[in-house]
Amino acid sequence: MCGRLAQIRAEQKYLASLAIQGQLLLPPSAEPINRYNVAPHSRIGLLRRMAQGYLWAPERWRWLPAWAEKPVRNDFNATREKVATSPFYRQVWPHRALLCVDGWYEWCPVEGQKTKQPYYIRRQDSEPLFLPAVGQFSEPDQEPKPDDGFRIITADSEGGMLDVHDRRPVVFDAVSARTWISDISLDEAGHMLHEQALPVDAFHWYAVGREVGNYRNEGASLIEPLTSASS
């Protein structure tokens, strides 16, 4: 599902790992972001391609079409199975972006306990995670519209990760991530989501403290493992 993220390292570090080729509209910060507990509906740094170059800017992690009559249970993720074809996403599907993070959290039921156990999930090699996203965005010199925002794209989980959650974000390596925000066709973008997502064995996950369940909590202690047991 992916309902909480960690965006820790500096913009410069993410962009260096991505090896993006092209002009950056704003100079990237060298200061670590150090956000260990990013919740949906908050703003988070997002990279997108524009006519003049690439822009890293804070965008709201949620999106609903202006015509939506009812709230939905999940307005911050889009499923890989529907994002390219459903009329619901038609207006944002052409507007691709990239979320650069260090990891995400999932909550797993524990037999005999009312409170779920949170897990932190990152890459085995500790490289950044590049999450494909789609959204509605205003121009940099304009005030954001009330319905601006984005959703990250999720897929069915598999393998051992099913023990933690049945959904996970699609994650690209740097090469695929650069392609995602290039000028490829919409059909090519749809194929990428199914064919170029990193496999489950690229990730490492472990139980962390329940403090992460409160979005007001912050700090590196949130990603410290509870035990040495992990995937």
**Residues forming the active site:** 2, 106
Q: Closest Cα partner for 22 from 59, 58, 48, 61?
A: 48
Question: How far is it, in rounded angstroms, from Cα 168 to Cα 42?
Answer: 20
C-alpha separations of 143 from 69, 108, 146, 184 in Å: 24, 39, 9, 28
Q: Closest Cα partner for 47 from 4, 11, 91, 90?
A: 11
C-alpha separations of 156 from 1, 142, 169, 202 in Å: 9, 37, 9, 15
131's torsion region: left (phi>0), alpha (psi -120 to 50) or beta?
beta
Tokens 């973008």 identify what position?
189
